[in-house]
Structure 1
């Protein structure tokens, strides 16, 4: 029996409102015959020492004359890891980061033994998610011995902040900027979408092409400003961390996705997005955010998991659910796509939801700022609820979105558990157990 293969075959009627951006091969026109799964034979160049077709393709990939672009075949995670490892090699200073960084940032800090300052954050009124830096609470004395900051832009839910202002602020204080733009690979694709931090001189910008553009999963891109301090060492670590047998299918999909990006028109997308929103509003509350590609839906009295289950009955699969909402990632619909849009609208209109009067109280995010120090020493496993009052050893990370909720070294509270129990999958909880620091 082929467990994974057989399970995948069960989604033949499924409609995608989740990543990857090709949405089950209905967006773009990916041409990826299996016979193109090749190795570094004559004429195909060498990903780790590109001088021919890969090097030429990466020149086209660059979105700005001041930047060098590089394909990533092991995902955005390797780009983030490479920048922070390069920083550790060349600098004795610390890192600053937003509270809503991806878990790969913490992994990089742990691998390098680097301490970090956690920046004060603002929280969105729309989604109750972190959405930017609270500059009113950010004082320069917090950033002593800091020369690299990690920014998350946009957040997982498509919310943006003034990235231009943020980059300029940190540059004015001699701090280079790594932007995790994983969910913004499509930014600047037309004027209807937000601007990429590439426009505003971010030093290292990592984009998950596969999340919103038609590329294979794991296909990402890193853009590095040519004059930034860590560029050469980042190139070195990209080679260290990524497979020595890169997939030419992923490389080809990235090249095709970038061509899609360069020639995209949004008229069909905007029209169908409006039609979908109208259909959703017949049943749900629809929250529009800064990125038109993301929608958040709610229904009074229903948990996100309940809403997700109602939608999945119609074989529509969403990106994630939270305690009170569901996140949809829309396709970049276009003229000639094969996405079954009319069928999607028909299924949405079939969903019926009974009225409820109960109202949820918003669950507060863990807003602690301050500092992060990699945890070392002994640990022990306990049941989740037995860990209240203890310092956790491994991060507790709902996945998706992959943003650590309780950081290593932080004290677990009953409030944390209340939030964590609303997620279907939390990295760091295994069979109901977590690892806590053994104090003794």
Structure 2
């Protein structure tokens, strides 16, 4: 079966995952295939925008302090561009959170940049990294020029981003916020506040994750006071395709219009109906109303995911003991099959079970990351226990390294990783460890 045939097999699937258009049922995207065009007269040039694209990007700015650029290669390219620009002008280290996306590590490796790993806090609700732990104001902050912060985490939890940005700015450190999962923030007072309100220097948002835009469609917001404006713009052209998709650009423009005119009354009404239909689960609500986690005593995340998929309900991810739902931004006139979703949820058969011996150890300590340049060898996952990793082990989604390069693999790590269906860094059951012979 080829890709096209496989996609057609999901014709009756219900989406509780990204992208934010949820199978074309949210928003009113107008994207006829005839609009897949190139830089003909009147369409402007993405890499030298002076006309219609330039005008559209000016309207994209969410605050007077920022200019915005469409990203046609996803939030990843925004992160890569900022770190490349930073490395071009500075030889200082980067400070970063442990729940940084893999693109941050890739940028550090590509540029040969060392990083200080910030202490972390772990959420009592989700058992995931959530925010920054206590920082030492007397540490060697003069060795750092850029901080990379993840806000919100993948699971919709937020922390005091304002205080974090203020702390780093007081130390003369610019701040890049990976707000990939917060493109919809500030859409109404019932949703969390964006870091754009707190003078972050660079903010990247994955419009496609929660707003009705095509996959790969993202935005970078650059503060007018940031020191790397020109360099970031240069690397955005270096690292992105020279043939940008006008369909992606158009979808981003339409998603931004959706954001500007959204009313959340229908959303909250349907969300409450959904929570009632999920009453047989343990429902974990977080700061972002779009994200919901489900648990059931005695069930692994993989089992819950399978039960839902048997009803053709597809979730964002499963982990050791839970699944994550990404809700649509329901609105008046959407075509999302909500009644069908409730009907299928009623069909679920859940039994009483004994609790699992759940364990998901997370390292919250400060640390240090340096691009690994040593020799490596390939071993099985079990054989790697006790050895330092050469390549990170990254459950995908969410794309956040669970064990970093240079860290020792433990039995507890292996137990958790075995609960994921897709782990980057494991190929045919093998991983790479640093050859320390």
Indicate whether 1:383 and 2:384 are aligned: no
Aligned counterparts of 2:148 and 2:273: Cα–Cα separation in 1: 37
Q: Deviations over 1:103-151 (max 9, x none)?
A: 000000000000000000000000000000012x544415340010000
| Count of residue correspondences | 437
Task: Indicate if the aligned counterparts of 1:96 and 1:119 stay in contact, CA closer than 8 A.
Answer: yes
Question: Structure 1 128/117 Cα, relative in aligned 2: closer, same or farther at 3 Å?
Answer: same
Aligned counterparts of 1:147 and 1:430: Cα–Cα separation in 2: 36
Aligned counterparts of 1:358 and 1:99: Cα–Cα separation in 2: 29
Aligned counterparts of 2:80 and 2:232: Cα–Cα separation in 1: 9
Indicate whether 1:317 and 2:326 are aligned: no
Q: 1:201 aligns with which of 199, 223, 226?
A: 199
Match of 2:400 in 1: 403
Match of 2:412 in 1: 415
Match of 2:13 in 1: 14
Match of 2:284 in 1: 287
Q: Deviations over 1:285-313 (max 9, x none)?
A: 10000000000000001000001111111
Q: 1:329 aligns with which of 315, 326, 334?
A: 326
Aligned counterparts of 1:334 and 1:138: Cα–Cα separation in 2: 46
Q: Deviations over 1:398-424 (max 9, x none)?
A: 000000011111111111111111111
CA RMSD for the aligned pairs?
0.9
Q: Deviations over 1:26-45 (max 9, x none)?
A: 00000000000000000000
Q: Deviations over 1:202-234 (max 9, x none)?
A: 000000000000000000000000110111100
Match of 1:46 in 2: 45
1:74-223 aligned at under 5 Å gives the runs 74-135=73-134, 137-223=135-221
Aligned counterparts of 2:137 and 2:357: Cα–Cα separation in 1: 35
Indicate whether 1:244 and 2:248 are aligned: no
Question: Structure 1 438/275 Cα, relative in aligned 2: closer, same or farther at 3 Å?
Answer: same
Using structure 2 for the length normalisation, give the TM-score. 0.99
Match of 1:352 in 2: 349
Give ranges in structure 2 of 5+ residues lacking alignment: none
Aligned counterparts of 2:395 and 2:366: Cα–Cα separation in 1: 19
Task: Indicate if the aligned counterparts of 1:132 and 1:161 stay in contact, CA closer than 8 A.
Answer: yes
Question: Structure 1 418/366 Cα, relative in aligned 2: closer, same or farther at 3 Å?
Answer: farther
After TM superposition, which residue ranges in structure 1, 4 or more long, deviate above 3 angstroms? 137-140
Question: Structure 1 195/132 Cα, relative in aligned 2: closer, same or farther at 3 Å?
Answer: same
Aligned counterparts of 1:360 and 1:38: Cα–Cα separation in 2: 55
Aligned counterparts of 2:29 and 2:12: Cα–Cα separation in 1: 20
Aligned counterparts of 2:2 and 2:140: Cα–Cα separation in 1: 51
Give ranges in structure 1 of 5+ residues lacking alignment: none
Aligned counterparts of 2:13 and 2:137: Cα–Cα separation in 1: 49
Using the TM superposition, name which of 52-61 and 386-395 deviates more.
386-395
Task: Indicate if the aligned counterparts of 1:396 and 1:426 stay in contact, CA closer than 8 A.
Answer: yes
